[in-house]
A = this chain, B = another copy of it.
């Protein structure tokens, strides 16, 4: 390998004995606009290609105050809902000439804060994120400075930050209703991060469904605090050890439902004969499970595409979208994890 000096515009200019400005203009496609001769254009383009020139985005971004990069913050890419959102968003960004910096905040507020700083310092043009939890001063500060940011899945309701999310209230209501229709009266609720919108809205749907059917709400029935499988595992154990054991579990995430399923297995409780189970979010392999899991499916593709389009529009127009929120319907996918319970018991 020949140790050749880094190939920059200055470098090319020196070699061709012209100035860097014409190199820049040619290589950014403005050759014609600045009436640079065909011959020079050819020469520059050819040697640029030969030397393998690529523009230094650091310098470019610095000069242009624009990086054509978007920050994408996901709380947990190992959760399929987020990996699917990430994928569709990234694709949309790429299609529009933006590249993406993806950060996994691991559902950790501190990491989220760091990542936000990282992205800001790297001068991304905008941010698409699913915040970890409820209160986030940094996010609000960013928004208040007019920085383009849109939220997906999880959102903050005390500020007009644009978002696209699912109808978590209705989805949960539908799911709990499904359980009630099957005779369940003792329904455990495995919540996600409590001060996140999806979790609180789902809880609201749960409570409303109970209330509409004259079932008293029992705070002890609400357990957990993360959207993770192990959290579901632990919470299910707590709930299923109650003297008056719930006959059904409603989980705020499908992975937590899987954790609960594991807990059931270990406690020798059959699903759904002994305990029925519903999970929010679709799970790709739900139908392959020992007990195919009944789920409340979100439109993951539409979530990612809607949110990214909102952000792209913002970046294009320079103004935040007026219709600041989109709420997508959910769909109950009935499989086999919910059984009818005889009304005889209690």
Contact partner of A57 among B80, B86, B121, CB < 8 A? B121
B102 engages A103 (CB within 8 Å): yes
Cα separation A176 to B301 with both chains bound (whole Å): 38
Q: Give residues 56-114 of A contacting B (CB, 8 Å).
A: 56-59, 61-62, 67, 69, 77-78, 80, 83-84, 86-87, 90, 94, 99-104, 106, 111, 114
A243-263 to B contact mask, C-beta < 8 Å, 1/0: 000000000000000100110
B121 engages A56 (CB within 8 Å): yes
Cα separation A61 to B87 with both chains bound (whole Å): 28
A55 an interface residue at 8 Å Cβ cutoff? yes
When distances are taken between beta carbons in the complex, the residues of chain B under 8 Å from A101 are: 101-102
When distances are taken between beta carbons in the complex, the residues of chain B under 8 Å from A219 are: none
When distances are taken between beta carbons in the complex, the residues of chain B under 8 Å from A1 are: 144-146
Q: Give residues 1-43 of A contacting B (CB, 8 Å).
A: 1
A229 an interface residue at 8 Å Cβ cutoff? yes
How many A residues are at the interface, by size bracket? 35 or more
B229 engages A284 (CB within 8 Å): yes
When distances are taken between beta carbons in the complex, the residues of chain B under 8 Å from A284 are: 229
Contact partner of A77 among B69, B83, B99, B265, CB < 8 A? B83
Contact partner of A288 among B84, B117, B145, B290, CB < 8 A? B290
Q: Give residues 132-185 of A contacting B (CB, 8 Å).
A: 144-146
A204 an interface residue at 8 Å Cβ cutoff? no
Cα separation A236 to B9 with both chains bound (whole Å): 53
> Separation in Å of the A88 CB from the closest CB of chain B?
11
Q: Give residues 245-297 of A contacting B (CB, 8 Å).
A: 258, 261-262, 265, 284-285, 287-290
A333 an interface residue at 8 Å Cβ cutoff? no
B106 engages A87 (CB within 8 Å): yes
Contact partner of A117 among B54, B100, B117, B123, CB < 8 A? B54
Contact partner of A78 among B54, B87, B100, B145, CB < 8 A? B87
Cα separation A55 to B102 with both chains bound (whole Å): 21
B145 engages A54 (CB within 8 Å): no
Footprint of B on A, CB under 8 Å?
Answer: 1, 54-59, 61-62, 67, 69, 77-78, 80, 83-84, 86-87, 90, 94, 99-104, 106, 111, 114, 117-118, 120-123, 144-146, 229, 258, 261-262, 265, 284-285, 287-290
